[in-house]
């Protein structure tokens, strides 16, 4: 015969212990799971940047010049102006490049964290004829390789940099890339560190969604190691196209002698 005492079920204390143990187990699982998800996003972002760079180089191979950045108003297409781009600093022209992937309401290609991939090109006009040499058909050939001025600069810190140069040779990672594509990383909506602000110093809007985006304000960028330290946090992912890499392709196809 079962006594009343044996039938009583779980006491509150016992229940609390069970819930506590379950909570600990779940917490122990969730931590590594979210870290795993974040690692997967990071890997995806790097692969995405790599494939965007390959597409940009493919565009250059086919057309003899770099594509212009997209703007929020251009629907993912390269935004052109006579002899130039509508903007030097904007977004990956994913429609022009025929790239797959998630787009937002302004048709801009998104990184794994849901922020549009940024893209900037050299706006130099070495022969002063009013056309941007790197984005205008035939212009790189006209200017000639030795005189071209690839002007994207990458530093390992923002401190002491000017709108055109890093603080010193010691802080210079790349002096004179032709173009750069980058993701603002996981903290795209919350960052405040000067090194990340260097990559997005101004606002650009005008798209159908009415969203205003942070984009680069000059041709100096910062690429450095990841950090979670408040005030100096950094998780941007940058990939640039060095001149040798671009010129090599253009020589192969006869766009450069
Ligand atoms: Ca020119
Ligand atoms: Ca970031
Ligand atoms: Ca800058």
CA of residue 229 to ligand 3 center, whole Å: 21
Per-residue pLDDT for 4 more than 60?
Answer: no
Residue 179 lies in a domain: yes
Number of structural domains the chain divides into: 1
Residue 66 lies in a domain: yes
Residue 144 lies in a domain: yes
pLDDT computed for residue 29 by the predictor: 76
Which ligand lies nearest the alpha carbon of 127? 1
Residue 44 lies in a domain: no
Residue 176 lies in a domain: yes
DSSP 239: E
CA of residue 70 to ligand 3 center, whole Å: 18
CA of residue 179 to ligand 1 center, whole Å: 16
> Beta strands 152-155 and 118-121: pairing type?
unpaired
Which runs of consecutive H residues, i.e. helices, occur in the chain? 4-7, 12-63, 139-143, 194-197, 243-252
CA of residue 121 to ligand 2 center, whole Å: 20
Which ligand lies nearest the alpha carbon of 142? 1
Which ligand lies nearest the alpha carbon of 122? 1
CA of residue 234 to ligand 2 center, whole Å: 6
The model's pLDDT over 177-225, given as tens digits with 9 standing for 90+, comes to 999 999 999 999 999 999 999 999 999 999 999 999 999 999 999 999 9
The model's pLDDT over 56-74, given as tens digits with 9 standing for 90+, comes to 999 999 999 999 999 999 9
Which ligand lies nearest the alpha carbon of 198? 3
Per-residue pLDDT for 3 more than 80?
Answer: no
Q: Which residues surround ligand 3, an ion (CB under 5 A)?
A: 198, 218, 220
Q: What is the domain extent for residue 210? A: 62-252
Residue 5 lies in a domain: no
Residue 199 lies in a domain: yes
Residues 6+ apart with CB under 8 A from 165: 153, 172, 175, 220
What is the pLDDT confidence band of residue 1, given thresholds at 50, 70 and 90?
low
Residue 41 lies in a domain: no
Q: What angle do CA 10, 13, 17 make, to 5 degrees?
A: 95
What is the pLDDT confidence band of residue 26, given thresholds at 50, 70 and 90?
confident
């Amino acid at each position: 015969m079962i006594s009343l005492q044996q039938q009583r079920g779980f006491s509150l204390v016992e229940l609390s212990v069970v819930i506590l143990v379950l909570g600990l187990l779940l917490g122990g699982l969730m931590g590594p799971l979210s870290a795993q998800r974040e690692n997967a996003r990071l890997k995806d972002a790097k692969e995405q940047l790599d494939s965007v760079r390959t597409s940009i180089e493919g565009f250059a191979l086919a057309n003899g010049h770099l594509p212009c950045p997209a703007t929020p108003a251009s629907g993912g297409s390269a935004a052109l102006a006579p002899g130039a781009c509508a903007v030097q600093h904007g977004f990956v022209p994913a429609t022009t490049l025929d790239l797959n992937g998630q787009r937002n309401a302004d048709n801009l290609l998104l990184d794994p964290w849901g922020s549009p991939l940024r893209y900037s090109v050299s706006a130099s006009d070495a022969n002063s004829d009013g056309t941007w040499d790197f984005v205008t058909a035939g212009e790189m050939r006209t200017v000639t390789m030795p005189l071209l001025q690839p002007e994207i600069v990458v530093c390992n810190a923002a401190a002491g940099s000017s709108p055109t140069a890093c603080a010193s040779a010691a802080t210079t990672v790349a002096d004179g890339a032709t173009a750069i594509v980058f993701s603002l990383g996981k903290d795209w909506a919350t960052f405040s560190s000067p090194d990340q602000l260097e990559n997005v110093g101004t606002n650009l809007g005008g798209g159908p969604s009415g969203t205003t985006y942070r984009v680069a304000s000059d041709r100096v960028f910062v690429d450095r190691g990841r950090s979670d330290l408040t005030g100096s946090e950094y998780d941007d992912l940058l990939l640039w196209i060095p001149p040798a890499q671009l010129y090599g392709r253009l020589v192969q196809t006869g766009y450069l002698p």
